């Protein structure tokens, strides 16, 4: 998290002035320092022997995902996030700016949007439909961890660290999703650091609440 905050600080200092193209050449002809390392989330932690990365583009092809009209999908996202304790703090103009960074897709029932143990770098927001979260245990049993619906977020931890997926997320019915990839978050960090800072802070809070709930459940005496 410290590295993320440092990166956000650098992004804010390197933001292009009004009227200049974000990430473009500086007035004196120098290339802004962010251009040299603009793939923070998509490359900072991934690499080495842990396994191949599965990006959204590859998963979308496997799923046969169908693109959705962005404006209508964004309106649905806005309506859902208006009722979320943390995401409702995003201003309407911030949500409008987020449109350029999201993929919107329709996925058929019984499709594994996220697969356990793979290395991924995207998160999904459920716009419509239902997804079940399952974990396959070492002894072969499959445990259902959660059933999710519109407004729920899945896979946000791997978005931030490109790490291994803890569980699988499968559509129970035909569903509609909004997808944010690590590459898109890098782009947001470079061109709209204020929005990136807001979003990352919200994701950190939601992850903290979830981890505390899990820790409390594991520590509760039987």
What tens digit of pLDDT does each residue of 122-136 get?
999 999 999 999 999
pLDDT grade, residue 52 (50/70/90)? confident
Give me the pLDDT at residue 32, please. 39
Query: How many other C-beta atoms can be found within 10 angstroms of the C-beta atom of residue 148?
Result: 19
Which tokens hold the place of 130?
Answer: 């239902």
Instruction: Name which of 102-116, 183-197, 208-222 the model is least confident about.
Output: 208-222
List all residues 6 or more positions away from 102 whose beta carbon is below 8 Å from its beta carbon. 70, 73, 74, 77, 178, 179, 180, 184
Whether residue 65 has pLDDT greater than 90: yes
- Provide the mean pLDDT of the chain: 81
Whether residue 195 has pLDDT greater than 50: yes
Considering only residues 27 and 83, tell me which one the structure prediction assigns the higher pLDDT: 83
pTM for the structure as a whole:
0.77
Give me the pLDDT at residue 216, please. 65
Distance CA 193, CA 112 (A): 32
Whether residue 207 has pLDDT greater than 90: no
């Amino acid at each position: 998290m410290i590295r993320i905050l440092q990166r956000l600080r650098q992004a804010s200092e390197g933001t292009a002035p009004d009227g200049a193209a974000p990430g473009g050449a500086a007035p004196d002809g120098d290339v802004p320092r962010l251009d040299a390392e603009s793939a923070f989330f998509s490359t900072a932690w991934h690499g080495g022997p842990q396994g191949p990365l599965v990006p959204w583009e590859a998963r979308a092809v496997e799923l046969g995902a169908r693109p959705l009209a962005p404006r209508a999908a964004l309106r649905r996202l806005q309506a859902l996030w208006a009722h979320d304790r943390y995401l409702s703090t995003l201003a309407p103009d911030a949500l409008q700016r987020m449109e350029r960074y999201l993929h919107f897709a329709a996925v058929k029932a019984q499709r594994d949007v996220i697969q356990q143990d793979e290395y991924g770098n995207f998160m999904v927001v459920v716009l419509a439909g239902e997804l079940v979260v399952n974990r396959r245990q070492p002894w072969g049993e499959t445990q259902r961890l959660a059933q999710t619906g519109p407004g729920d977020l899945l896979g946000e931890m791997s978005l931030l660290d490109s790490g291994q997926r803890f569980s699988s997320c499968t559509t129970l019915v035909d569903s509609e999703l909004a997808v944010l990839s690590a590459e898109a978050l890098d782009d947001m960090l470079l061109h709209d650091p204020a929005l990136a800072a807001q979003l990352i802070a919200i994701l950190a809070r939601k992850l903290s609440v979830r981890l505390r709930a899990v820790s409390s459940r594991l520590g509760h005496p039987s």
